[in-house]
Amino acid sequence: MNGLFCSNQIYLIRLNEFVFFRFYGLFELLLCVSITYLIFTHNVSSSIFKDVRNKPFLLVVDDTQIPRRGKHIPFVTKSYDHCSGRFQNAQVILTLGIIKDNAFSPIDMLFSNVKGGVENQQITKNDQLIACMKKHGKEIKGATLLGDSWFTHSYVVEAAVKWFEVNFIGRIKSSFKVKIDSSVMSVGEYQKNLDMTQAQETKINGEKMRVHERISSFQAFRFILKHVVCENESGERITLVSTDVNFSGAEIVKNYLKRWNIESFFKMAKQELGLKNCKLMTNEAQEHWMLLVILAYMIFKDHEMLLKEKSKSATKKDTFEIIHDALSHLRSKIKSVRRNFEFLHSRFKMPEATPVFST
């Protein structure tokens, strides 16, 4: 692991920031003490924030579920799956990350250890999100947080604006009440009956869209919000809100659509980076496994970016092949490195902190 962190490596993580870590191997990393893990994750997130310091950037939050059969696996709970419409045993992972230049970088991945129904789960996720934002309060100041309808909640929105000076853009549930002139109606009713023929036409991500915007008061919020209804070429509509009323409707829609980057991260993490493969039975090992997933994703995106600078036609498969070739080269050197280490170890007294190579 120490070999991953050198100058000019991913996100400018430097060796001297991690010099106090001495892991013998993957097993020791997974089972290292919690304080070491906290310092390690702090340094990783700090290195990511360096890339957007003093620049406007987007934060995005979402959660994903990993179905589990074993009840003794840590953080497994009964969770409602919106895709299947039923409760299942699963680990729920809350993820906060940043988006810059259409690239997603995960900052924190937290298990949501929830007991109870849907309402209890929502409160717990929101509390975890607020705690996570508090931990990174200085770094996220001035950013814009993107969230789906689950997180467009008065508690989250007001905390983001008042406590952390973070703007919020999110999709709002159709059941929320909105005041239109002198009438109060549901968001869904207003969205359905709105005449979009007079709405502004714009092109976002190559698709023609109609965007209607206004300033509205919502019953669930204690301040006014920019209220946007968007209709795509297929006639499908969504309603978005923004705490920054200076954003145009098109800007709000364009920023919100970037939230899809975190969905792509979840898909890749599950299918290709082993997020769902951890079967270890301790809380620490499960949390440390997620750190390895974050590091693997960062390494992949770093190599993908470098490859696309040389060839715009480069694919994901090409990136994996380059990483595979590099790892194969490293494996070929392990025997000689171990042999040299054992030679030195037999002739000199080595400090206890020095890593020991083992099969």
Q: Is pLDDT of 359 > 50?
A: no
* Banded pLDDT at 303 (limits 50, 70, 90): confident
> Does 49 fall in a domain?
no
User: What is the average per-residue pLDDT within 323-329?
Assistant: 79
Residue 139 vs residue 81, higher pLDDT: 139
Higher pLDDT, 174 or 338: 174
Full residue range of the structural domain in which residue 325 is found: 316-359
Q: Choose between 119 and 342: higher pLDDT.
A: 342
Angle between helices 283-310 and 260-271 (to 10 degrees): 110
Angle between helices 316-347 and 283-310 (to 10 degrees): 120
* pLDDT bucket at 46, cuts 50 / 70 / 90: confident
Domain contains 348: yes
Residue 309 belongs to some domain of the structure: no
- Kindly state whether residue 328 falls inside one of the protein's structural domains: yes
332 belongs to a structural domain: yes
Q: State residue 214's pLDDT score.
A: 95
Q: By percentage, how much of the chain surpasses pLDDT 90?
A: 40
For residues 142 and 341, which has the higher predicted lDDT (pLDDT)? Answer: 142
| pLDDT single digits (tens) 126-184 | 888 998 999 898 899 999 999 999 899 999 999 999 999 999 999 999 999 999 988 99
pLDDT over 90 (residue 246): yes
Q: Tell me which of 198 and 179 has the higher pLDDT.
A: 179
93 within a domain of the structure (yes/no): no
Residue 305's pLDDT is 85
Least confident residue range of 23-27, 64-68, 224-228, 262-266: 23-27
Q: What pLDDT is recorded for position 17?
A: 40
Question: What mean pLDDT value characterizes the chain?
Answer: 81
**Residue 355 forms part of a structural domain:** yes
Residue 323: per-residue pLDDT = 82
343 located within any domain: yes
Q: What is the tally of structural domains in the chain? A: 1
Give CA–CA dist 7/16, Å, rounded.
Answer: 9
Of 159-163, 237-241, 275-279, the one with minimum mean pLDDT is 275-279
